[in-house]
Amino acid sequence: MKIVVTGGAGFIGANLCKELSRLPEVSHILVLDDLSSGSLANLRDTRVDFVQGSILDRSLLGEVMRGADAAVHLAARPSVAMSVDDPEGSHDVNASGTLRVLEACRAVGAYAVTASSCSVYGDSAENPKHEGLPTRPVSPYGAGKLAAEAYTLSYAASFNMRTLALRFFNVYGPFQPADHAYAAVIPAFIDAALRGDPLRIYGDGLQTRDFTFAETVVSVLIDAVMREVTSDTPVNVAHGVQVSLLELARELGQVMDRPLEVRHAPPRKGDIRDSRASCERLRRLFPDIAPVSLDVGLQRTVSWFEQPMVAGSGRSQ
Ligand code: NAD
């Protein structure tokens, strides 16, 4: 079985490729990545064939998809802030890029699973967020992801393709970088704790998130590809666990076996207050997937950050 992973050198992609490399039924894993935010070093423990290039390159996409049974489409400009700075660039990769990947899948009859995001819900106060809620993206990133999932579903309806659009919530785990201004909260907390710095919380810390360990996301992606799971609506990927940032800091302190100092900074504009997923659809489609709990996921993430290779490189990859 040949699987193409776009954006495979990034955080979620690297976790996926590592796991795919262990599966004997997967004979060929091909990663297409332009390395704009990913790194080749993330793929060192895998058996992937790596092609450096953009999903916007039609002929390259055609080549990499030749003979493919499935594509896991993760390549994106994943930052809300970057999308505000450069909306067209974000649209090109996240929306038009997805369309190109779907076209390349269609040409070879491959199954396609694409990564959307909880950002499509915007700042709706309703929780849990179920897939039937109106979508109201408040950033070009969210709008691009909404277009990406709409194209994914429309290709199933128009061309009888087998597709799945997954809305990831806050994913964390190994390979997630901590060294940039918009780092996700868990790597930022772990990085600060390992340096002995206080954990910075924007606002009162009572804002909540639904964190999903990367291993859980990878299990969903692999199960999706192996069974060619489809849905004519998008599917949330999270398990409905609401954790405030203050609780997260306490949990991390327990995992690291010491209390961690928290320092509050003014709230950030545009930050969503509460985000919790409804996971009924996910459980129905993926009944065998049990999520990794927050304490176990944090332990594994901290262990990864403590590896000399990661710590020695300033925890960047
Ligand atoms: P990431 O930045 O680590 O990975 C994205 C990868 O895509 C990178 O390796 C990057 O180099 C590559 N890429 C970017 N533009 C490309 C292009 N034009 N052609 C080829 N490759 C390109 O991000 P991630 O966190 O691993 O996210 C993976 C996917 O999941 C993205 O689609 C993202 O929008 C989505 N997502 C992630 C989260 C999360 O919590 N991490 C939440 C919601 C959605």
**Catalytic positions, written as ranges:** 141
- pLDDT at 181 > cutoff 70: no
CA of 79 to the centre of ligand 1 (A): 9
Q: Which atom of ligand 1 is nearest to the CA of 170?
A: 40
Q: Indicate whether residue 218 lines ligand 1 (CB < 6 A).
A: no
Inter-residue long-range contacts of 23-29, CB under 8 Å, 24+ positions, other chains counted: 23/222, 25/1, 25/226, 26/1, 26/2, 27/1, 27/2, 28/1, 28/2, 28/3, 28/67, 29/2, 29/3, 29/5
Higher-scoring residue by pLDDT: 273, 295: 295
Kindly state whether residue 113 falls inside one of the protein's structural domains: yes
CA–CA gap between residue 272 and residue 119 (Å, rounded): 9
Kindly state whether residue 287 falls inside one of the protein's structural domains: no
139 plus 270 within the same structural domain: no
Q: Domain range for residue 201?
A: 172-209+241-277+292-311
Q: Indicate whether residue 46 lines ligand 1 (CB < 6 A).
A: no
By DSSP bridging, strand 2-6 and strand 70-73 are: parallel
220 plus 265 within the same structural domain: no
Q: Indicate whether residue 10 lines ligand 1 (CB < 6 A).
A: yes
Kindly state whether residue 285 falls inside one of the protein's structural domains: no
In one-letter notation, the amino acid at residue 57 is: D
128 plus 245 within the same structural domain: no
Higher-scoring residue by pLDDT: 296, 316: 296
92 plus 106 within the same structural domain: yes
- Look at the chain and report how many structural domains it folds into: 2
Kindly state whether residue 22 falls inside one of the protein's structural domains: yes
Query: What pLDDT is attached to residue 308?
Result: 78
Q: Which of 44, 45, 300 is nearest to 172 (CA)?
A: 300
Kindly state whether residue 298 falls inside one of the protein's structural domains: yes
- pLDDT at 310 > cutoff 90: no
Q: Which of 176, 220, 187, 212 is nearest to 292 (CA)?
A: 212
In one-letter notation, the amino acid at residue 81 is: A
Q: Which atom of ligand 1 is nearest to the CA of 177?
A: 3
Kindly state whether residue 7 falls inside one of the protein's structural domains: yes
Task: Output the six-digit token pair for 215.
Answer: 């291993």
219 plus 267 within the same structural domain: no
Rounded mean pLDDT of 10-27?
A: 98
CA–CA gap between residue 47 and residue 273 (Å, rounded): 41
- Read off the CATH number of the domain in which 146 is found: 3.40.50.720
Query: What pLDDT is attached to residue 21?
Result: 98
132 plus 113 within the same structural domain: yes
Burial class (CB in 10 A: 0-12, 13-18, 19+), 170: middle
Q: Indicate whether residue 142 lines ligand 1 (CB < 6 A).
A: no
Query: What pLDDT is attached to residue 315?
Result: 44
* pLDDT classification of 317: cutoffs 50, 70, 90: very low
pLDDT tens-digit profile of 207-245? 999 999 999 999 999 999 999 999 999 999 999 889 999
Kindly state whether residue 48 falls inside one of the protein's structural domains: yes
CA of 121 to the centre of ligand 1 (A): 19
pLDDT tens-digit profile of 182-216? 689 999 999 999 999 999 999 999 999 999 999 99
- Read off the CATH number of the domain in which 249 is found: 3.90.25.10
Q: Indicate whether residue 35 lines ligand 1 (CB < 6 A).
A: yes
216 plus 202 within the same structural domain: no
Task: Output the six-digit token pair for 152.
Answer: 């994914």
What is the DSSP-derived secondary structure letter of residue 42?
Answer: G
- pLDDT at 30 > cutoff 50: yes
CA distances, 2 to each of 36, 68, 71, 119, 225 (Å): 24, 5, 9, 31, 11
CA of 99 to the centre of ligand 1 (A): 16
pLDDT tens-digit profile of 68-111? 999 999 999 998 888 999 999 999 999 999 999 999 999 999 99
- pLDDT at 312 > cutoff 50: no
- pLDDT at 316 > cutoff 60: no
| CA atoms 130, 135, 138, 142: torsion sign | positive
CA of 108 to the centre of ligand 1 (A): 24
68 plus 193 within the same structural domain: no
184 plus 67 within the same structural domain: no
CA–CA gap between residue 212 and residue 239 (Å, rounded): 7
Burial annotation 43-79 (CB, 10 A radius, 16+ → b, else e): beebebebbeebbebeebbeebbeebbbbbbbbbbbb
Average pLDDT, the chain: 94
CA distances, 10 to each of 6, 54, 182, 190 (Å): 9, 14, 15, 19
Query: What pLDDT is attached to residue 270?
Result: 65
76 plus 50 within the same structural domain: yes
Kindly state whether residue 286 falls inside one of the protein's structural domains: no
152 plus 201 within the same structural domain: no
Count the neighbouring beta carbons within 10 Å of the beta carbon of residue 86: 14
Query: What pLDDT is attached to residue 311?
Result: 61
176 plus 155 within the same structural domain: no
